[in-house]
Amino acid sequence: MREARPVFLVGATAVGKTAVGIELAERLGAEILSVDARQVYRQLSIGTAKPTADECTRVRHHLIDLYDPVEQVTAADFARRFGERLDELRERGCEALAVGGSGLYVDACLGRLDAMPPADEAIRERHRLLRDREGDAGLHRRLAEVDPSSAARLSPADFQRVSRALEVRELTGKPLSELQHTPGRLDLSVGPPLILLVRPREELYARIESRARAMLAEGLLKEVAALLEQGVAVNRPAFESIGYTEFARALRGEASIEEATGAFIRRTRRYAKRQETWFRNRYTGIVEIQINSGDTPQLIADKAHAEVVCRQAGEG
């Protein structure tokens, strides 16, 4: 029987999880299990804000660079890898800290996903052809007809998840929203805490814009161009990532760099809002920590560590 879940540190993109996570891991004597649906892909580094070499030297990170950009990955696939690595850490007596913002992957790692049918590449290819013919909106409309709940929470631009929802509906006869739904919220008030980092909305949005422009300066366009030059098709998983989709369009002459940058920022903002909503609506008993302007990662990690110690003391 696997031991209790590890501490989870979650939050919206650009909220500051990486810096706080490293500080908290050092306080806990833990290694980090990344829970990020895009950092699992090799060659997607700048646009997914992967931890740097220096950050990985400070604290060892796991579950990054697991798959090639053309491979299809499901939350269930990831949860299996998460569980295996968690067991490995515990076998050598090491604490684990799960850090990420991919809500569905967090859910899967907490055991919240029902059994799902395996991916069907023939169905996925059919969806790619439909997207080429009807666009993202056309595929999304098809999902809205058979699974309005999933359609309401998924962006039309998120081909991988829209296609997966349609695929599950076709293979099982049931909507993905019904299969994924576990009645009621998961109570996390007992055991290691799930810590949600939040910032004031306007500050978070400013950080998202600043980070997007910094990614461009660091070479995101070259990263996207390298994928295209290697023959990675724009309908493969790599280009379903926020930023990669938009800048691939720019490199193909379908949008200007500034237009692509604006689309990147807007899509990231929408995603951040959905992330916060997910964590607040799916669980009870979470620990929410507000990050104010000027707060350092060290300060926030101290607060998070105090919450972990308090939870442990209360159960001792």
Instruction: Output the domain CATH number for residue 154.
Output: 1.10.20.140
Q: Do 39 and 170 reside in the same domain of the chain?
A: no
Does one domain contain both 173 and 267?
no
127 and 235 share a domain? no
| In a shared domain, residues 77 and 218 | yes
> Structurally, how many domains does the chain consist of?
2
Q: Are residues 98 and 156 in the same domain?
A: no
Whether residue 54 is contained in a domain is answered as: yes
Q: Is residue 19 part of a domain?
A: yes
* Domain edge (last residue) among 180, 201, 230: 180
The predicted model gives 143-150 an average pLDDT of 90
| pLDDT for 1 | 34
Nearest to 59 by CA among 29, 17, 31: 31
Query: What are the tens digits of pLDDT across the range 191-210?
Result: 999 999 999 999 999 999 99
Whether 289 and 273 map to the same domain: the answer is: yes
Q: Which residues lie closer than 8 Å to 4 by C-beta, 6 or more apart?
A: 191, 192
**Mean of pLDDT values over 46-53:** 97
Residues 253, 145 share a domain: no
Same domain, 98 and 146: no
* Same-domain pairing of 221 and 302: yes
Q: Are 33 and 220 in contact (CB under 8 A)?
A: no
Among the candidates 160, 180, 200, a domain finishes at 180
Mean pLDDT of the chain: 92
Q: Are residues 159 and 212 in the same domain?
A: no
Position 73 in a domain: yes
Residue 185 domain flag: no
Which range has the worst mean pLDDT, 119-128, 133-142, 248-257?
119-128
- Asked if residue 196 and residue 293 are part of one domain, the reply reads yes
CATH number at residue 61: 3.40.50.300
On whether residue 29 sits in a domain, the answer given is yes
Dihedral angle, C-alpha 164, 18, 203, 293, nearest 10 °: 160
What would the two tokens of residue 202 be? Answer: 């306007």
Q: Is residue 302 domain-resident?
A: yes
Distance CA 157, CA 213 (A): 21
Residue 1 lies in a domain: no
Give residue 127's domain range.
121-180
Verify that 108 and 145 share a domain, yes or no. Answer: no
The pair of three-digit structure tokens given for residue 72, joined into one six-digit string: 């299809």
101-111 pLDDT tens trace: 999 899 999 98
The 10s digit of each residue's pLDDT in 2-27 is: 457 999 999 999 999 999 999 999 99
8 Å CB contact between 69 and 237: yes
Long-range contacts of 227-234 (CB under 8 A, 24+ apart): 227/43, 227/69, 232/69, 232/70, 233/70
Q: For residue 186, is it within any domain?
A: no
